[in-house]
């Protein structure tokens, strides 16, 4: 009785191939096990590619992610460098301001709706 075994050695897939494989999995509702057998890629690798695809977008699969982090910038080859501290703090402050604005608008909307209900009731 034979068993299906993964091919020995590694095959390097470029970003375009990774994107096409993930899109095909979604388009044809393939299982990771089925795609794993068809392409000769471990299902763990396919799951990682899918996670990257959903979390960081198609472009993330197109960049090289292997290798050690660059000591000077703390980033890996092909990745965007981290924002400087001031820009990061400004973005955090803006996010907080926008969240407060959203909360304010939600409360204002609730008050307007309540007032409209009261006006309809009294008519």
* pLDDT value of position 1: 42
Q: How many residues does the chain have?
A: 123
Q: 1-67 — its CATH code?
A: 1.10.10
Q: What is the mean pLDDT of the chain?
A: 82
Per the rule left: phi > 0, alpha: psi between -120 and 50, beta: everything else, 99 is alpha
Q: State yes or no: pLDDT of 103 exceeds 90.
A: yes
User: What is the structure's pLDDT at 9?
Assistant: 57
Q: Which two tokens stand for residue 121?
A: 């009731």
| pLDDT score at 55 | 85
φ/ψ (deg, to 5) at 37: -65, -40
Q: What percent of the chain lies above the pLDDT cut of 70? A: 76
- Is it the case that residue 75 has pLDDT exceeding 70? no
Q: Count other C-beta atoms under 10 Å from residue 24's C-beta.
A: 13
76-89 per-position pLDDT tens digit: 555 566 778 888 89
């Amino acid at each position: 009785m034979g068993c299906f075994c993964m091919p020995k050695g590694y095959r390097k897939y470029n970003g375009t191939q990774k994107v096409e494989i993930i899109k095909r999995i979604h388009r044809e509702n393939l299982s990771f096990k089925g795609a794993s057998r068809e392409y000769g890629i471990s299902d763990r690798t396919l799951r990682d590619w899918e996670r990257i695809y959903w979390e960081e977008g198609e472009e993330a699969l197109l960049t090289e992610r292997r290798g050690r982090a660059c000591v000077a910038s703390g980033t890996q080859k092909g990745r965007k460098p981290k924002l400087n501290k001031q820009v990061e703090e400004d973005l955090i402050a803006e996010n907080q301001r926008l969240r407060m604005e959203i909360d304010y608008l939600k409360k204002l909307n609730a008050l307007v709706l309540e007032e409209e209900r009261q006006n309809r009731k009294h008519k």
